[in-house]
Structure 1
Amino acid sequence: MTFNRRTFLGASAVVAAGLAAPMVRAQGKPRVVVIGGGAGGATAARYIAKDSKGEVDVTLIEPTRTYYTCFFSNLYLGGFKEMDDLGHTYGGLAAGGVNVVHDWAVGVDRDARTVSLAGGASLPYDKLILSPGIDFVDGAVEGWDLSAQNAMPHAYKGGSQTELLKAQLKAMPEGGTFAMVAPPNPYRCPPGPYERVSMVAHYLKANNPTAKIIVADPKAKFSKMALFQEGWNNHYSGMVDWIGEDFGGGNVSVDPAAMTVTIDGEETKVDVCNVIPAMKAGRIAELAGVTDGNWAPVNAADMSSKADPDIHVLGDASQQGDMPKSGFSANSQAKVCANAVRGALTGSKVFPAKFSNTCWSLIDADDGVKVGATYEATEEKIAKVDGFISQTGESSDVRKATYEESEGWYAGITADMFGASV
């Protein structure tokens, strides 16, 4: 399927149009609290408020007033986007009936069904939706922790870290070395680190053509591997040195003070080091007691937690089966969840769960590639039904069309998340 803003929003409208009219609860409005205002949480909040036509009280908890998407942030590093292009506010959601609270959720009392906020408030809920994104596993990369994120940025949460990495990239000396420590599976956006390598290479080719890129990777293979390696050979020949598991890519330590990376015992002085550590569910999921230590297991039919049927977990934080951790996945899961939650609270019709995902990546100007699939809910997990992927050797026209499709999707999903007025 080819995506643009109109087709993405049109598909959403078809889902919404099929929903039955809500049934008013005699005891007053049921209450839904959503934690996390990204692709999962913002979408779920918007759809529950919109489709219930005011019959459900929806509150979204999100600390930031401007949300910067992690997806498409690599294009900022490559010079294809400005930071303002990635920033979105919550006025459209508020206008659509969502009570938007800019605060940190710091606790969940599952017995009392309340959420505690850093500002001191306590919010009751009938259903709680968690979409907190990712946090990082302590000690995942020897020598690195969050106290080192200014010296060696992760830039895997959109915003200031992305700007910092771009500033470091621009300040690299002529002929300098950019290093990346890639994450182990599973992690947010499987092609993301390799699109980042491509965008860094694109910038360096134009501004610092004798610079080098080293990638230390604990994996033997990665998403779209053949496509990226073909693109690196075509566009950035000799610039990128990918060191996978078979060559010691998983045996890595860093020294942020000395700006060194040691790969399988060999120390290298670098000018910029992008450390992307192992990941886990955002902290509030752990505080709510719905994780297995890293991720939050959920039921595929409605994204409800296996630990608590009144809590649903979306997007990157969830352990759901075959879907990758991506913005598209979170948005797709949010619509299934919103339908199920509204049905449980108002008696409206609940449709069988179906999911989809596409991940686009830009390798060079007008050289876009993609991978995607459709999924269904089984008793065990969200299971892949079929899939597609770009092919090596595609024409420049096909690759340009793929990139343009990604631009249409970005416009569509952000409108779907935050409301058409954003």
Structure 2
Amino acid sequence: MTLTRRGFVGAGLAAASLYAPALHAQGGRPKVVVIGGGAGGATVARYLAKDSDGALDVTLIEPTRTYYTCFFSNLYLAGFRTLESIAHTYGKLAADYGINVIHDWAVGVDRDARTVSLAGGATLSYDRLVLSPGIDFVDGAVPGWDVTAQNAMPHAYKAGSQSELLKAQIEAMPEGGLFAMVAPPNPYRCPPGPYERISMVAHKLRAENPTAKILLLDPKESFSKQGVFEEGWSKHYSGMIDRIGPGFGGADVSVDPGAMTVTVDGEVTKVDVCNVIPAMKAGRICEIAGVNDGNWAPVSGHTMQSRIDANVYVLGDATNQGDMPKSGFSANSQAKVAAMAIRSELTGSQLFPAKFTNTCWSLIDADDGVKVGASYEANDEKIASVSSFVSQTGEDAEMRKQNYEESLGWYAGITADMFG
């Protein structure tokens, strides 16, 4: 019997549950393969192994041995964090939870045979597959730029070496130089992320190169936490930051990495550093697995099961799930719902209604932290927001400091939740 449901729209959980006894009848533990070791993948692997008490055979496939969190990487650019402080490894997942951690690239998925192929030549079988690959970039999204140009014009939206490169370029800017950012269109990973980055670059330049300027080229009419960001830029970095929105050419931008120029609505400008953050899509393995619908992978909010195949779950940035932003907190929250659903299917444990939370903190300047967040519940159509909050302009310094300190506690907590 094959459980593939290419037309799955919500009944997959019941069908998969009916199949669970047959899995046990074959002998051995049911196998769950997780592809991607970030906020979604590492969390779901840990919870599956921890909460099943050894009843599940969990394998985590992640090509990098050291994972650098994209969240808090902007703080590294400004000097609030070291690179080592956002670096994490997978040893505890293997040693403490019995997870089979394989550092390799997943290059193929056969959903009918329920196998995953690795670049190193191995083939793994699964009863359930979890995809949490994060994002890749849309080819041609910014004319003149592709990943072969990422050394000249870094994206730094996958943290690690790109973060180091961008920081080094900022530090090498000439006195009074120009830093440019090409911001992404919606939807994309971490909606406040580009604007926190502008803040952190401004913080660094104010201290080290105070006559430098920042040019923000933005295709969007508005952005997350816009009011508090713009208030903060005026307060802390007056005269340093110019934002060009779509009405003035922000949606008509091309770049020339060789010449180090940006062209805005036909006007060419020479820049010293250019941070290009292109349009995004689900990580490549989702396309390989055939679970994408356009650029993203549609899922049922009740379980995080793919709407194309009930044996496959998709988490985090790669998903098209409804109202939740693409963030590390979201991925971590979704991972716990998926882990509960998979355990229910494969071990008969209790399944509770899916509920989710998310908060995104951003730092504007030292001790000036702001946040946005919401609570969510699943319905048959999507994951829907049921309540929300956002920092307001005019808040006092103590509240902003508390926000920043809260974010530090959250970072320590979520990384422990991911990696043990």
Same fold (TM over 0.5): yes
Q: Deviations over 1:271-307 (max 9, x none)?
A: 0000000000000000000001300000110000011
Q: Deviations over 1:120-178 (max 9, x none)?
A: 00000000000000000000000000110000000000110000000000000000000
What corresponds to 1:185 in structure 2? 186
Is 2:57 the partner of 1:62?
no
What corresponds to 1:100 in structure 2? 101
User: 2:178 is aligned with what amino acid?
Assistant: T
Residue pairs, 1:286-297, within 5 angstroms: 286-297=287-298
User: 1:296 is aligned with what amino acid?
Assistant: A
* Matches of 2:263 and 2:219, distance apart in 1: 13
What corresponds to 2:403 in structure 1? 402
User: 1:324 is aligned with what amino acid?
Assistant: P
User: 1:114 is aligned with what amino acid?
Assistant: T
What corresponds to 1:6 in structure 2? none
Question: How many angstroms does 1:359 deviate by?
Answer: 0.1
Q: Deviations over 1:236-292 (max 9, x none)?
A: 000000011111101000000000001111111000000000000000000000001
What corresponds to 1:256 in structure 2? 257
Unaligned runs of 5+ in 1: 1-21
What corresponds to 1:10 in structure 2? none
The alignment's TM-score, normalised by the length of structure 2, stands at: 0.94
Residue pairs, 1:44-193, within 5 angstroms: 44-95=44-95, 96-193=97-194
Question: How many angstroms does 1:68 deviate by?
Answer: 0.3
What corresponds to 2:324 in structure 1? 323
* Matches of 1:336 and 1:247, distance apart in 2: 43
3-state SS, counterpart of residue 154 of structure 1: coil
Q: What is the aligned-residue RMSD (CA, Å)?
A: 1.1
* Matches of 1:39 and 1:247, distance apart in 2: 37
* Matches of 1:409 and 1:144, distance apart in 2: 35
What corresponds to 2:224 in structure 1? 223
Assess if the C-alpha contact under 8 Å between 1:217 and 1:249 holds in 2: yes
* Matches of 1:215 and 1:337, distance apart in 2: 38
* Matches of 1:193 and 1:319, distance apart in 2: 21
Question: How many angstroms does 1:92 deviate by?
Answer: 1.2
What corresponds to 1:417 in structure 2? 418
Assess if the C-alpha contact under 8 Å between 1:244 and 1:250 holds in 2: yes
3-state SS, counterpart of residue 403 of structure 1: helix
The alignment's TM-score, normalised by the length of structure 1, stands at: 0.93
* Matches of 2:365 and 2:197, distance apart in 1: 11
Q: Deviations over 1:72-93 (max 9, x none)?
A: 0000001100000000000111
3-state SS, counterpart of residue 74 of structure 1: helix
The sequence identity of aligned pairs, in percent, is 75
Question: How many angstroms does 1:25 deviate by?
Answer: 3.2
Assess if the C-alpha contact under 8 Å between 1:286 and 1:293 holds in 2: no
What corresponds to 1:203 in structure 2? 204
* Matches of 1:33 and 1:173, distance apart in 2: 49
What corresponds to 1:8 in structure 2? none
* Matches of 1:44 and 1:68, distance apart in 2: 18
User: 1:157 is aligned with what amino acid?
Assistant: K
* Matches of 1:41 and 1:350, distance apart in 2: 20
What corresponds to 2:10 in structure 1? none
* Matches of 1:273 and 1:230, distance apart in 2: 24
User: 2:66 is aligned with what amino acid?
Assistant: T
Residue pairs, 1:274-289, within 5 angstroms: 274-289=275-290
* Matches of 1:251 and 1:200, distance apart in 2: 24
3-state SS, counterpart of residue 163 of structure 1: helix
User: 2:169 is aligned with what amino acid?
Assistant: Q
What corresponds to 1:25 in structure 2? 24
- Count of matched residue positions in the alignment of Structure 1 and Structure 2: 398
Is 2:356 the partner of 1:367?
no
What corresponds to 2:303 in structure 1? 302
* Matches of 2:381 and 2:340, distance apart in 1: 20
Q: Deviations over 1:4-42 (max 9, x none)?
A: xxxxxxxxxxxxxxxxxx999342200000000000000
* Matches of 2:382 and 2:334, distance apart in 1: 13
Question: How many angstroms does 1:386 deviate by?
Answer: 0.4
* Matches of 2:352 and 2:103, distance apart in 1: 32
* Matches of 2:93 and 2:391, distance apart in 1: 35
* Matches of 1:226 and 1:63, distance apart in 2: 39
3-state SS, counterpart of residue 24 of structure 2: coil
Unaligned runs of 5+ in 2: 1-19
Q: Deviations over 1:365-391 (max 9, x none)?
A: 000000000000000000000000111
User: 1:36 is aligned with what amino acid?
Assistant: G
* Matches of 1:52 and 1:145, distance apart in 2: 43
User: 2:94 is aligned with what amino acid?
Assistant: A
3-state SS, counterpart of residue 25 of structure 1: helix
3-state SS, counterpart of residue 328 of structure 1: helix
What corresponds to 2:379 in structure 1? 378
What corresponds to 1:36 in structure 2? 36
